[in-house]
Structure formats: C-alpha cells, structure tokens
C-alpha cells in the first residue's frame, strides 16, 4: 500500500495535480508516518506555493534532506536566520551542508541577503565545485562581481566532476529505469515503487524540492510559476488593479494566456540529470519572499539586475547650474539610434549566424543518447534490474558495469558521457563569459562573446534579453529595442529582461509600444514585478509620477528583493522632490544589491541637487568604480569635483567621459563650462563649436557661448548668440536666465551675478 500511494503521489505531481498529490500524501503519512514520507508531503506543499505548510511539517526534523527542505520554506517566508540555522547546525559547525551543491547555493543566497558577501561568495564557489552545472551559482558570483573567468570555472576540473557524477553515481542505471517507464515496458512494472524511491534518495544530487518526490520534472510552467490547471489559474487575472483599461487609443490584441512550460522535457517520469534547478524553486517570480534570480538580472537585477539609463532623465532635470536640456541627456539614445540608418546590427548578426545554422551542436539529445546506450548495455543485466535496486544491489550493479567497461557498449557509454560533458561545458563557458562581462559592464566585449554562440542558442529568449541589456548599457536604444523584440518573439511567455525593455521604450519615447507592452505583461502575469515596472514606466513617460510610483511600489510588494523596482521608486520620489523617501528607496536597493550602480548614481544626484557636493562626489565615485565605462556617471562625477573647486581633476574625468561616448554632447558641454570658469575661453569656445555639430539646436550651447563672448567684452557676438539661444525656444527657466544675461550685457564681470 505504501509503495502504491507514493507512486500515485508522484504521478499526481507529474501531472501538476498538486491538490490531489497533497491529499494522497496526507493519507500516506497517516498510514506510514516516516520522515521520508513527510519530506514528500512537504515537497508537495512547496510545489503548490504553500511554504508555510512545509515549514510546520518539517520544523524540528534532523535528517539532512528534511533540514534542506525546511530551509527552502524558511527562505521563501523570509525567515533567513531560521533557514541558516537549518543548514548550519550550531552543535556541529564543521558538519556537511545538506543536499550538496543546492544546499551551498541556498546558504550563499542567505549570506548575500544578510550582507555577508565573503561567505556568500565562498558557498557559491562550493556549489560550483560540487556541481559545475549549477549555473545559478555562477550568475550570483557574476552579480557580486567575483566570478572567475568562465574558462576556468567550466574547465577541465568541471568536466571531470560531471563525468564522475554520471559514471560513479549510478545515474546511467537511473536513466535506464526512466526509459523503461516512458516506453511502458513490462519489465519496468517489475520495479517496486519502494525500491525506486530508495535508489532516488540514495543518489539524490538534485538541487530542489522536486527531487524529493523522485520527479524533478514537476516544474512550474513558464514565467508565471503557477499550475496551468484548476480554478486558481483563472483567479490570477481577476486581481484588482489600479491600471485603467485604456492607456492608449489602440487596445492590444487578445493574448493566449496559457503559460508555456519552459522546464525540462516532460516526456519522462524521472530526471537522469544532476543539473540543479533550485533557482526556479527559490526564485519563482510569483512569491513575495523570493530572489529575483535571473528575471533581474539587471539585474535581475542590470542586474546585473541590470543597469539602465533612466537616470539620464534625472540628469537633465538636475542640471540647474548649466541647464542642459533633456535632449542633450536623455536624448542621447536617439542620437545613437540614428547611427545605423536603414540597417540593424542585430539583423546583420542574425544573417551571419544563420549561415552557421546547419552546424552540428553535439550536445543536443545527450541525455537521450545516454539512455539508449544504457539500455543497450543493460540487456545482460535484465535479471538484476527486474529484481529491483536496493542500496546493496546498486553497488553490485555499478561494480558489474565497471567490470564490463571493456565491452564495446561500455566504452561507447563512457565516450558519450565524456563528449557530452565537454560539449555542455563549452556552451556554459561561452554563456558564462558573456554574462560575466555584462556584469562587469564590458558590454561590447559581452556582445562579441555572445556572437560565438550557435544560432540555435543565440536565438533564445534569455540570450537575446542579455544582448538587449548590453545595448541598453551602451545607450544604443534602437538596437536594444530590436534585441528585446526578437526575445519576445522567441519566448513570448518569458518576462526575462522585460523591465529593462520597458525602460528602453521609455527613453525612445515610444509611448504606444510601451503601453502595449505593459498591458501585454499584465495580461501574461499580473503577479510579476516586471509587469508593474513596465506599467510604472508607462505612467512616468506621461509625467504622472504619483501613479508611476504606486506601480513601482506594487512591484516591490510582489518581490522585496527586486532591486530595480526600489531604484525606480527612488527616481519617482526625486521627480516629486521627496528627497527623503528617494534616499530611502535607493538605500533599500543597495541592501539587496550593493553593486547596483543606478542607486549609487541616484543618491549622488539627490545630494548634488541639495548642493551637498562631498556626499555627491562619494556616491558618483562609487557608481563609477562599479561601472567605469558610463559616460553619464563620469560627467556628473566631474561636475561634483568642479563644485568642490577641484577643476583640474574634473577636466581629467570629463576627457574620459568624452572618450567613453564621443557622441554624448553633455560631457563636452560641461568641459566647456569648467574651462570658462578657469578663464580658458578659447579652449571653451573650441569645445562648444564641436558640441554644435552634435546638437545644433541646443539653446544652452549658444547661451554659454554668449556668456563667454560677454566676458571677453565681445558684446556684439554675445548678443548674437543669446539671440540664437532664444530663437531655439528653450524652457521658461532658460528664457529667464538668457534675458537676464542680455540685460546685464554691459555690466562688468565682477558685478554680473548671472
């Protein structure tokens, strides 16, 4: 009866029938109250997003796997101290962390979110050492800025580790059972469920709660992280929302709301791969207390939770002394987008990659090949298989398999494992190096690495989103728009990078596309923070900062570790001139991700506007240390240094800003301003003449030239340039400043307060 009930529970989990699985598992625990069965029940509750139930079931348990599941439930409930205590027993500080690589990864997350960076890095590295396929751990190291080169992490040692997992832990025999079950062979029915469960628990190198049930294919569908059946999925679209139904004159077409499964191939009953999927368990976007993981990643993320240039808008608003217009700062993306008129970098990339489309990529069907080979190898072992695998018979089977490695089938099986491990790691090396470079904001280098991917991998939602983020960091918004559009086509159900995509549309002022994207994301998943970030950007573009702030706060409410949402809240508070709450929001973002340079930049802007220039210089410099390639950050760091009377340092940093982005007119304008203050008028005029080539209709450029000519007592030229500035219809504030300068045209410099 116990074996049958356990098998029924696992079948219900495979069919996403969580309610049925919980009911049957409760019967199982009532009849056979073992800790193994309690683990299965806790796994059922965790997969149905009821972490609190798993918490109460496993509280006080001592078995390693139970402690790991208890830690998972604590993490999802934001009880980080209890989660840490479950993984690291006080009485045995040197005891092994439960569940191997997954345990170390979870412990690393706990240390990261409790501001113990060195310990977090140590455990992420431990996770990768144990399981080199633990991609989530490498992502975290990249976000923390402490990842080694991918060629080192996914090198020869990693290949040997994967081979050891497959060849020495009996996973080949597990693949045999999977194949038999899938094909409905009679011999598979000879296995008792109890024997299968024992074998799966013995070889449990899996990295999430799904391995507890012996079914790592029970994965939540798509980006939503919710089951696709039952009335609960319908209620998600009935959540009250402050969004008016018509943000634009054109309503988007009806969407297919069936979330697509993006998990492993669900054609098999068990998972023969040791690959970790704990990230999808811990960081599912629908849970309030979960890590954003690589929906950030921007980083989350810029996450790199990923960095964006919404701060450019604030830059335009903050230039009170020089009054650069928004077109000089936020409009920089438009200038860049016109560079490739009539052509697209991404289009050429796609064409060049298409030529390689026919190239073989041998790692596809690796698992299938292993299963087939194992099936062939095991025909001589039918008697042993049919009798079931107990722990002792497992060892005998492995010994027998090792003894027959000299046979042709055995050699072919080992060869497939070695080849497969090499090909998987080759792919991870390319992906890992691209992601590492992105997190270091070496975006052009990252783009070059991504181009080395085979077409089939480059043309996936995740890679195209990373490409879009890289172009966004480079201020090439037109290319970023194309990349994200392709990502939407490749994975319309994925929300990866859609928060950054909405920011790109914000910068290019595509209000119709942004409105459509926001409505589409809300319809896809109204409980994902990315959806509400897009909605907030939509309102912010319409200058409705209060409504935008409410939407960003909703994103924070859905996921308190979504760094970017905290930063956007800070931007909106600053736009509303609520500097105190703006500072709090930026600080909240930095508590989640200390390398989120956008928040350091935001704090610098607040202090700059408050004329606290020492504080501003510190925060701009910290942002610059994280992202040393940002022309905007360097420009404002130079402004802060100039305000502190450190003009020579300011000129050096301005020159770096000009080199970093030769088509950004703002650092050139500020350099001219500094040169004028140093009375180096000829140099200042030469720089301004160059600025005019990039921004011929920028009134502040002509106004500054007028001031320089006035100080040189060239009143006719000064009046001419002041007139040019007024003809370009500047803002009301700029008009008042220019008219005041004209009125004092003949006032000596020492009496001129303009």
Q: Choose between 328 and 67: higher pLDDT.
A: 67
Distance, CA of 639 to CA of 319 (rounded, Å): 10
Q: How far apart are CA 464 and CA 734, in angstroms?
A: 42
- Residue 592 covered by a domain: no
What is the percent of the chain where pLDDT is above 70? Answer: 66
More confident residue, 369 or 664: 664
Residue, of 93 and 139, whose pLDDT is higher: 139
Give pLDDT, residue 91: 66
Determine, yes or no, domain membership for 528.
no
pLDDT at 489 over 70: yes
**681, 738: one domain:** no
* 411 within some domain: no
Residue that finishes a domain, picked among 98, 117, 142: 98
Instruction: Judge if 687 and 717 occupy the same domain.
Output: no
Instruction: Please give the structure tokens belonging to residue 701.
Output: 């450029």
Of the candidates 98, 124, 140, which is a domain's last residue? 98
Is residue 746 pLDDT above 50, yes or no?
Answer: yes
713 and 643 inside one domain? no
Determine phi and psi for 128, rounding to 5 degrees: -70, -35
Query: What is the spatial distance between Cα 321 and Cα 356, in angstroms, rounded to a whole number?
Result: 54
Q: Which two tokens stand for residue 363?
A: 């790692």
Query: Stretch 34-48: mean pLDDT, rounded?
Result: 92
3-state secondary structure 19-85: HHHHHHHHHHHHHCCCHHHHHHHHHHHHHCCCHHHHHHHHCCCCCHHHHHHHHHHHHHCCCHHHHHH
pLDDT digits (tens, 9 = 90+) for 689-743: 888 888 888 888 988 998 998 888 888 888 898 888 888 888 888 888 888 888 8
Tell me whether residue 648 is in a domain: yes
Residue carrying the six token digits 């029924």: 8
Give the CATH number of the domain where residue 14 resides: 1.25.40.10
Summarised one tens digit per residue, pLDDT across range 68-98 is 999 999 999 999 999 999 998 766 666 789 9
750, pLDDT greater than 80: no
Residues 28 and 51 in one domain: yes
Mean pLDDT for 424-447 is: 94
In a domain? residue 183: no
* 12 and 68 share one domain: yes
Residue 635 domain flag = yes
- Between CA 283 and CA 293 the distance in angstroms is 6
Going 721 to 727 to 733 to 736, the CA torsion angle's sign is: positive
326: in domain: no
Which of these ranges, 10-14, 335-339, 517-521, has the smallest mean pLDDT? 335-339
Rounded Cα distance between 52 and 74, Å, is 8
For the cut 50, the answer to whether the pLDDT of residue 196 exceeds it is no
Q: Which domain holds residue 639?
A: 620-696
Residue 713 sits in the same domain as residue 749? yes
- Residue 304 covered by a domain: no
Domain closes at, from 44, 75, 98: 98
The pLDDT of residue 156 is 86
**Could you report the per-residue pLDDT of 559-612, keeping only the tens digit for each?**
999 999 999 999 999 999 999 999 999 999 999 999 999 999 999 999 999 999
Same structural domain, 664 and 713:
no
* Mean residue pLDDT across the chain: 74
- Number of domains forming the structure of the chain: 3
CA-wise closest residue to 296 among 41, 466, 487, 124? 466
Interatomic CA distance for residues 18 and 41, integer angstroms: 11
- pLDDT greater than 90 at residue 272: no
How many DSSP H helices and E strands does the chain contain? 42, 0
CB 536 within 8 A of CB 555: yes
Q: Do 4 and 94 fall into the same domain?
A: yes
**Same domain, yes or no, for 656 and 628?**
yes
Q: What stretches of 141-192 adopt beta strand conformation (E)?
A: none
> What is the pLDDT confidence band of residue 376, given thresholds at 50, 70 and 90?
very low
Q: Is the pLDDT of residue 41 over 90?
A: yes
Check whether residue 14 and residue 81 sit in a common domain. yes
């Amino acid at each position: 009866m116990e074996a049958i009930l356990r098998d029924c529970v696992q079948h219900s989990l495979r069919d996403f029938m969580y309610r049925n699985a919980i009911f049957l598992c409760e019967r199982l625990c009532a009849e056979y109250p073992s800790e193994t069965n309690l683990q299965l029940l806790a796994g059922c509750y965790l997969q149905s997003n009821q972490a609190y139930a798993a918490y109460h079931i496993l509280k006080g348990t001592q078995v390693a796997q139970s402690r790991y599941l208890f830690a998972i439930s604590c993490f999802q409930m934001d009880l980080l101290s209890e989660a840490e205590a479950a993984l690291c027993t006080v009485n045995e500080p040197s005891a092994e962390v439960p569940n191997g690589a997954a345990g170390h990864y979870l412990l690393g997350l706990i240390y990261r979110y409790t501001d113990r960076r060195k310990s977090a890095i140590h455990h992420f590295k431990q996770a990768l050492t144990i399981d080199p396929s633990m991609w989530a751990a490498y992502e975290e190291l990249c976000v923390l800025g402490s990842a080694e080169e991918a060629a080192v992490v996914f090198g020869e040692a990693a290949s040997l580790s994967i081979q050891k997992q497959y060849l020495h832990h009996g996973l080949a025999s597990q693949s045999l059972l999977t194949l038999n079950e899938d094909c409905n062979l009679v011999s598979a029915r000879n296995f008792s469920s109890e024997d299968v469960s024992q074998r799966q628990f013995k070889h449990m190198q899996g990295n999430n709660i799904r391995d507890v049930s012996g079914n790592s294919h029970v994965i939540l569908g798509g980006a939503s992280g919710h089951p696709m059946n039952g009335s609960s999925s319908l209620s998600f679209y009935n959540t009250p929302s402050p969004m008016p139904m018509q943000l634009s004159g054109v309503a988007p077409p009806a969407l297919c709301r069936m979330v697509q499964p993006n998990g492993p191939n669900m054609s098999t009953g068990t998972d023969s791969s040791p690959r970790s999927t704990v990230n999808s368990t811990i960081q599912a976007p629908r849970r309030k207390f979960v890590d954003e993981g690589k929906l950030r990643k921007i980083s989350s993320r810029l996450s790199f939770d990923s960095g964006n240039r919404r701060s450019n808008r604030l830059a335009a608003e903050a230039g009170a002394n020089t009054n650069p217009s928004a077109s000089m700062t936020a409009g920089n993306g438009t200038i860049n987008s016109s560079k490739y008129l009539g052509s697209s970098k991404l289009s050429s990339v796609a064409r060049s990659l298409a030529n390689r489309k026919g190239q073989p990529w041998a790692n596809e069907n690796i698992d299938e090949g292993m299963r087939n080979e194992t099936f062939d190898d095991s025909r001589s072992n039918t008697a042993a298989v049919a009798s079931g695998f107990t722990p002792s018979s497992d060892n005998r089977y492995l010994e027998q398999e090792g003894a027959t490695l000299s046979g042709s089938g055995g050699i072919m099986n080992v060869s497939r494992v070695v080849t497969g491990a090499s090909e998987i790691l080759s792919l991870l090396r390319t992906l890992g190096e691209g992601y590492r470079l992105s997190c270091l904001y070496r975006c052009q280098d990252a783009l070059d690495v991504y181009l080395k991917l085979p077409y089939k991998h480059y043309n996936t939602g995740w890679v195209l989103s990373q490409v879009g983020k890289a172009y966004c960091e480079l201020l090439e918004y037109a290319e970023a728009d194309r990349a994200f559009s392709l990502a939407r086509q490749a994975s319309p159900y994925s929300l990866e990078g859609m928060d950054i995509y909405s920011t790109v549309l914000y910068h290019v002022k595509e209000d119709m596309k942004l409105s459509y994207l926001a409505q589409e994301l809300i319809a896809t998943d109204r409980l994902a923070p990315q959806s509400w970030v897009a909605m907030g950007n939509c309102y912010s573009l319409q200058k409705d900062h209060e409504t935008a702030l409410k939407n960003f706060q909703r994103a924070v409410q859905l996921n308190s570790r979504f760094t970017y949402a905290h930063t956007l809240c800070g931007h909106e508070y600053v736009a509303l001139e609520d500097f105190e709450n703006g500072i709090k929001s930026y600080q909240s973002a930095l508590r989640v991700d200390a390398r989120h340079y956008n928040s350091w930049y935001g704090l610098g802007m607040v202090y700059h506007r408050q004329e606290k220039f020492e504080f501003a210089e510190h925060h701009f410099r910290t942002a610059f240390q994280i992202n040393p390639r940002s022309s905007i950050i360097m420009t404002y760091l130079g402004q802060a240094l100039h305000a502190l009377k450190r003009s020579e340092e300011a000129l050096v940093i301005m020159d770096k800003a000009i080199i970093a982005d030769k088509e950004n007119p703002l650092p050139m304008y500020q350099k001219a301003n500094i040169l004028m203050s140093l009375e180096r008028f000829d140099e200042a005029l030469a720089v301004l003449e160059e600025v005019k080539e990039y921004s011929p209709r920028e009134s502040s450029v002509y106004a500054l030239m007028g001031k320089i000519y006035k100080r040189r007592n060239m009143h006719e030229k000064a009046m001419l340039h002041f007139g040019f500035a007024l003809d370009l219809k500047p803002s009301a504030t700029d008009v008042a400043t220019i008219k005041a300068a004209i009125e004092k045209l003949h006032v000596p410099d020492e009496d001129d307060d303009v």
